[in-house]
Amino acid sequence: MANKYLDTSFVDKAIKFAVDAHADSERRGKGFPYVIHVLEAMEIVATLTNDPELLAAAALHDTVEDTDVTVEQIRAEFGDRVAAIVHAESDEIDPDIPECDTWRARKQAAIDRLRCASHDAKIVAMGDKLSNMRAIARDYDAKGDELWKIFHAPGGKPDHEWHYRGLAKSLCELSGTAAYEEFTSLIDHVFTAPEMELVDMSEWEVSGDGYTAVSYNHKDGKKMMKLYSDFIPVNVPQKELRIANAVHDMGLPTPRGLGLVTDGTRVGVEFERVTGKRSYSRLLADEPGNFEKYMRDFARMCRQLHSTPCNTKVFKPVEARFMKAVSTCSRLNEEQRRIVVDFMTSVPSTTTCIHGDMHMGNLLLAGGKNYWIDLQDFAYGNPLFDLGMLKFVSVSPSEEIARNTFHISCAQMRQAWDIFADEYFGPEAAEMEEMVCKMACLYIIYFADMIQFFPWEQEWLDRYMFNKQ
């Protein structure tokens, strides 16, 4: 099928202009043409807008600062709006003063200018700064702190951290977008993690536990926190805090995150407390007489979530998470990878909300209201991905995992799935069973290199994904 017609002449003109302006220029220390950075910045901006003038400004953002092109030339060729954005992106450098002597002053001026810039200028800046941060993160992973020697910043790594955290604050208007989340995540990866409040554990009481985290309530009755096990990397709670607040801002029922906390060993997130809460897994364990009712209520809440349109500017497609896992899973050979990728691409794409870790422990009931929790993998896509997670946890033969994580037996977990499928799918439940089993295989692959791999999981993969009897 031919691509839909789109007039790209304005953006094409900007790209050609940028290619000519940056001709014979190398991206510093990279060994490839400078224009590659320009095109990456455009790609990032395209995740935030399809406005041709903003895409053109992204292509041209370094022409005034790094080439002989002037703002007046940009204005003559592309208009006042594009010229204003490019000018806002350009540092002013005094050629008579060594760059290292003016570095911090210029960066502070750029941070201040960006903080007061228009929304349009911030979108273009996001493309530039994220592209730069991606390059720094790649080089840092390869070279470590030797990386900072190639830059002009006189203070080395601390200066760069100050600069990029300042940029993040100036761009906070874009908080919640996938580009901003990636930007701040890479900053946290390369530099020290943001400050965390050291909590006094004598003021907190355990309220629930699981395989990866323990929940606590504060004695003041207003706050709760979730401390992750010490084997969980710090970026997990950081991501959970950002995502939880983005979901809350969409109007979905979830507690608002208050900040990062630590007990000195473990790291976690502090939330507004939902008083009188119990997870659906606790409800199933504590009220066996209402087992079916609670599972049907849970299924209806899942169906409601899965019918909610997701903000695709803020969240990522769920497929990206699994594509990455498949590409790195040590337990798959190349033929198996191809089979899994072919299967995933055959699943119809949608743009409705996906919890990402959907099971009975991640929905709370309090005062007649439901609240979703543990949203670090929230995304958009086909609901089958969420159903695969629930199926995965429902079929595990480990009595210990079932009891410790969900507070019910393996037999009850399977019973819970049957009730859920009947309510969620209705008459099509039996017809959908094999597809959901295949989706569960994706979670086996996703967790294969993280936690213990059980023999039943290989048998499940062989049966449902690789068609081995």
What is the tens place of the pLDDT at every residue in 122-150? 999 999 999 999 999 888 888 887 888 87
User: Which has the minimum average pLDDT: 23-37, 53-67, 103-117, 120-134?
Assistant: 23-37
Does residue 314 carry a pLDDT above 80? no
pLDDT, residue 97, reads 46
What confidence category does residue 1 fall into, taking pLDDT thresholds of 50, 70 and 90?
A: very low
**Are the beta carbons of 347 and 286 closer than 8 angstroms?**
no
**To which CATH superfamily is domain 278-465 assigned?**
Aminoglycoside phosphotransferase (APH), C-terminal lobe (3.90.1200.10)
What is the rounded distance in angstroms from the CA atom of residue 393 to the CA atom of residue 357? 10
By C-alpha distance, which of 22, 54, 26 is closest to 41? 54
pLDDT, residue 93, reads 52
Does residue 87 carry a pLDDT above 60? yes
Mean pLDDT of 318-327: 86
What is the rounded distance in angstroms from the CA atom of residue 465 to the CA atom of residue 388? 13
User: Which has the minimum average pLDDT: 180-184, 233-237, 386-390?
Assistant: 233-237
pLDDT, residue 450, reads 66
What is the tens place of the pLDDT at every residue in 35-60? 899 999 999 999 999 999 999 999 99
pLDDT, residue 94, reads 46
What is the model's pTM?
0.59
Does residue 96 carry a pLDDT above 60? no
pLDDT, residue 100, reads 52
pLDDT, residue 13, reads 95
pLDDT, residue 101, reads 61
**What's the length of the chain?**
469
What confidence category does residue 102 fall into, taking pLDDT thresholds of 50, 70 and 90?
A: confident
Mean pLDDT of 279-295: 95
Domain coordinates in residue numbering, the chain:
9-190, 197-272, 278-465
Q: 97 versus 87: which is more confidently predicted?
A: 87
CATH topology assigned to domain 197-272: Phosphorylase Kinase; domain 1 (3.30.200)
Asked if the domains 197-272 and 278-465 are classified in one and the same CATH topology, the answer is no
What is the tens place of the pLDDT at every residue in 156-176? 888 888 999 899 988 988 877
Mean pLDDT of 210-232: 88
Does residue 99 carry a pLDDT above 60? no
Could you give the percent of the chain with pLDDT greater than 90? 46
pLDDT, residue 48, reads 92
What confidence category does residue 30 fall into, taking pLDDT thresholds of 50, 70 and 90?
A: low
Backbone angles phi, psi at 281, to 5 degrees: -65, -35
What is the tens place of the pLDDT at every residue in 261-274? 999 889 999 998 88
What is the tens place of the pLDDT at every residue in 179-220? 998 999 899 888 866 678 899 999 999 987 777 889 999 999
Domain 9-190 classification at class level? mainly alpha
What is the tens place of the pLDDT at every residue in 439-452? 999 998 888 766 66
What is the tens place of the pLDDT at every residue in 327-383? 888 888 899 899 999 999 999 999 999 999 999 999 999 989 999 988 888 999 999
